[in-house]
Amino acid sequence: MNIFITGGTGFIGTPLVERLAKDRTNKLLVLSRRSQPRQPRVTYLRGDLDDIGRWKGQLMRFKPTVAVHLAWEGIPDYSAPTSIKNLTASLRLLDVLAGAGCKKVICAGSSWEKGFQAPRAEQRPPERTLAFVAAKQALHELGLAMARERNVSFSWARLMFVYGPGQKTSSLIPYLIACAQKNQRPELKNPGAKNDFIYVADVAEALAAIIKKGQPDTTYEIGSGALTTVRDVVRLVFKTYGVPLPAAALKRQPPSASFSGVRADPAVIRGLGWRPKTSLQAGIKKMVDSYASN
Ligand SMILES: NC(=O)c1ccc[n+]([C@@H]2O[C@H](COP(=O)([O-])OP(=O)(O)OC[C@H]3O[C@@H](n4cnc5c(N)ncnc54)[C@H](OP(=O)(O)O)[C@@H]3O)[C@@H](O)[C@H]2O)c1
């Protein structure tokens, strides 16, 4: 299979490229704004999503059969200008992919879409009217419509709270690991907030299953299907390090405006034979080990 990947150098894309490159029948073309080291079955295409005209010819010559679009510039900048920029570049990419004869496209969505389901804008809590969420939803809807018109299969991979090696250091689990390493009390906005945590290698496996067997017009929610509180994650990280948790760390605090309590309904992705293999405990242990070896 000829697979074109955007975001293949990022936190989620890196293990996906590694996973797909193991299959000798795959040829991968991976977009990146930076030059990348060579590896078997992977060609890096130097280019920016904002400037497709410059590298469109190489994409056409590659003749992608499948495309996975993960790139999203500027995270954690969820502002309107950045979100609109990403949406515009993504829609242009979908148009170019259809023109290149690509028959299957998979785009990455976010769990936050699920916390944003009130039918009318005025009914939504103001903290949830994030431009980022609106842009992802618009990409989902317009991507589906464009794909139908161009006879392309379009799948939406709605990712829950992904964690694992390579995650941004400001994210929850890397931050807690840094606190445990220094035996420092973590500052938590809302220890009672719940998330559906899913290990990054499991997400790569799920995306590989969608590439192989995913159906058109389908949303795949990728998560464990279970909710875990931030408080329990803190306990797991400190326990893995074997350091005592400062008593005041988990004290009750006023509810925050952050999103919480969104979990995947993994029924559809399970239909492709996928199951998460890494428990939260095992995933945190792998992260701690990877930090120790670096
Ligand atoms: N991380 C999560 O927990 C999570 C949860 C839900 C959904 N998602 C979604 O999953 C996707 C991947 O997230 P991630 O955390 O892996 O992102 P990331 O680590 O921030 O990586 C971003 C990737 O996008 C590429 N990119 C950014 N701007 C680009 C541009 N203008 N042109 C070309 N490439 C560009 C980067 O490539 P170069 O720097 O090499 O150019 C990099 O590979 C995103 O769509 C995100 O919304 C993530």
Question: Would you state the pLDDT for residue 258?
Answer: 47
At how many degrees (to 10) do helices 13-21 and 200-213 cross? Answer: 60
At how many degrees (to 10) do helices 172-181 and 230-241 cross? Answer: 40
Domain-located, residue 66: yes
Ligand 1 centroid distance, CA of 73 (Å): 6
Peptide bond between residue 76 and the one before it cis (omega within 30 degrees of 0): yes
Q: How many domains does the chain have?
A: 1
Positions in the chain whose pLDDT score sits under 50: 118-119, 257-259
Question: Would you state the pLDDT for residue 261?
Answer: 78
Question: Would you state the pLDDT for residue 164?
Answer: 97
Q: Where are the beta strands (DSSP E) in the chain?
A: 2-6, 27-32, 42-46, 66-69, 104-110, 153-159, 161-163, 194-195, 197-199, 218-222, 228-229
**Range of the structural domain that residue 107 is part of:** 2-159
Distance (Å, rounded) from C-alpha 218 to C-alpha 208? Answer: 15
Domain-located, residue 103: yes
Domain-located, residue 75: yes
CATH of the domain at 55: 3.40.50.720
Q: Decide: 193 in ligand 1 pocket, CB within 6 A.
A: no
Question: Would you state the pLDDT for residue 140?
Answer: 98
- What is the atom index within ligand 1 of the atom nearest the CA of 132? 47
Domain-located, residue 131: yes
Do the beta carbons of residue 144 and residue 217 sit within 8 Å?
A: yes
Ligand 1 centroid distance, CA of 68 (Å): 12
Ligand 1 centroid distance, CA of 62 (Å): 22
What's the pLDDT tens digit per position in 64-82?
999 999 999 999 999 999 9
Measured in whole angstroms, how far is the alpha carbon of residue 31 from the centre of its chain? 16
Domain-located, residue 288: no
Question: Would you state the pLDDT for residue 243?
Answer: 85
Ligand 1 centroid distance, CA of 286 (Å): 22
Question: Would you state the pLDDT for residue 38?
Answer: 86
Domain-located, residue 230: no
Domain-located, residue 201: no
- What is the atom index within ligand 1 of the atom nearest the CA of 50? 31
Domain-located, residue 128: yes
> Which of 72, 107, 163, 196 has most ligand 1 atoms within 8 Å of CB, for mutation?
72
Question: Would you state the pLDDT for residue 257?
Answer: 46
Measured in whole angstroms, how far is the alpha carbon of residue 284 from the centre of its chain? 18
Ligand 1 centroid distance, CA of 129 (Å): 21
